[in-house]
A and B are shown apart, each in its own frame.
Chain A
Amino acid sequence: MTASTHHRAASPRTEQIILFRTSNQIFAISSASVQEVRSVDSLAGSAAELSDSTVKKVRHVLRRTDRTLYVVNSAIHFGLRPSPASLVFLLRRSRAALLVDGIEKMTTMTRLQSLPPAFCNEERLWYRGLTVLDQNVIPVVNPFGFLTDNELAQLDAITTPVTPEASPATNQAGLSR
């Protein structure tokens, strides 16, 4: 899937989201932040295993022409019971790819409520906020909240990341446009 970032929605205050499932929990992610959705099987040849990873939620690395993507198991990231993942989200402008169980549907949110201040731990990094869909409260994940700088440094230390200089088609952040 290639999200159409240049497409202007009919309503100016809406955002297209993907509802995905991980370990029986539903999350939302902005479709604009997902560059590709691939099946786990299709990555079998291109993902390398990180047997000595100190970041438990990352067991595989994907080498693209322009960047190295660390595959984050979303169930472990959120502290849920690990379940068989079938899809991988390759995130735009991020060094993380996300293992998920499946996609529920694509839909539109009209309101994003900030996380109440009573939530005061890691979840503030995990989520952009909460949205209400069909009288259900759905956490909207922060696509940049899956790996901290410290975790990236640990992972970089055991891999040979693709550097920005290695590819001419990179932007200032070293990621593909």
Chain B
Amino acid sequence: MSLSGQLDSRSCVLLRLGDRRFALIADQVVELVSPSRVFRFPHRTSELDGVILRRGRVVPVCDISERLTGKRMGSRRFYLISSRPTGVAGDSIAVPVSGDCELIHADLTPAGSHDSPYVAAWLSHNGEVIEVLNLSALTPAIPEAAPSKAETPMPEVRA
């Protein structure tokens, strides 16, 4: 997401992680889903908790609250499913949130060079200055520059 050099008015989704609020550009948000079973299997991407199943599709779960607030989310949580602009079709991720999300329209201030990479922009809402998150910088992904198996279509099933 590139918002540099613009003062943009956008729809955003406010989400709560612990006692802090953050925002995501609404265009990136697919849906907010109630707590569901997390399927776990062995892997080496420590940032991921597992996957959830949503309409037959597998969506990885990444708890970003520890990195942003220093604390993991409690057990009772919703999942904000968001698409990621990684160039891979259908790449989405489920972020555990506390559930009280809010859709707002706000003017965005572009992030500065001193801001963390995960800050895409800033917005002001009800006297609170809120970071608009760049999920691509907060969640793991295959490096774009390194071609890998995942970038080539995997045969769905063999006859």
Q: Does B133 touch A at the CB level, under 8 Å?
A: no
Chain A, interface SS category: loop
Shortest distance between the CB of A5 and any CB in chain B (Å): 11
A-binding residues in B (CB < 8 A): 39, 41-45, 47-48, 51, 53, 56-60, 62, 84, 86, 88, 91-93, 139-143, 148-150, 153-159
Which listed residue, B42, B48, B57, B149, touches A113 by the CB 8 Å rule?
B57
**Chain A interface size range:** 35 or more
Interface residues of A in 75-114 (CB under 8 A from B): 78-80, 109-114
Query: Is B42 in contact with A121, judged by CB distance below 8 angstroms?
Result: no
Which chain A residue shows the least CB distance to B143? A120
Query: Is B157 in contact with A132, judged by CB distance below 8 angstroms?
Result: no
Query: Is B91 in contact with A116, judged by CB distance below 8 angstroms?
Result: yes
Residues of chain B within 8 A (CB-CB) of A30 are 158
Interface contacts beyond A121-B43, A123-B44: sample of 10 additional A-B pairs, CB < 8 Å, sorted by A: A15-B157, A25-B42, A79-B44, A111-B156, A118-B45, A119-B45, A120-B142, A121-B44, A128-B154, A139-B41
Residues of chain A within 8 A (CB-CB) of B155 are 112
Query: Is A126 in contact with B42, judged by CB distance below 8 angstroms?
Result: yes
State whether A80 and B42 are in contact (beta carbons under 8 Å apart), knowing that A112-B157, A113-B57, A137-B53 are contacts in the complex.
yes
Query: Is B158 in contact with A15, judged by CB distance below 8 angstroms?
Result: yes
Shortest distance between the CB of B36 and any CB in chain A (Å): 11
Query: Is A118 in contact with B140, judged by CB distance below 8 angstroms?
Result: yes
State whether A135 and B53 are in contact (beta carbons under 8 Å apart), knowing that A114-B154, A117-B142, A117-B150 are contacts in the complex.
yes
Which listed residue, B44, B57, B91, B153, touches A117 by the CB 8 Å rule?
B91
B-binding residues in A (CB < 8 A): 8-9, 12-15, 25, 27, 30, 78-80, 109-124, 126, 128-130, 132, 135-139
Question: What are the 8 closest A-B residue pairs judged by CB atoms, nearest first?
Answer: A78-B42, A121-B44, A137-B39, A123-B43, A114-B154, A118-B60, A12-B159, A139-B41
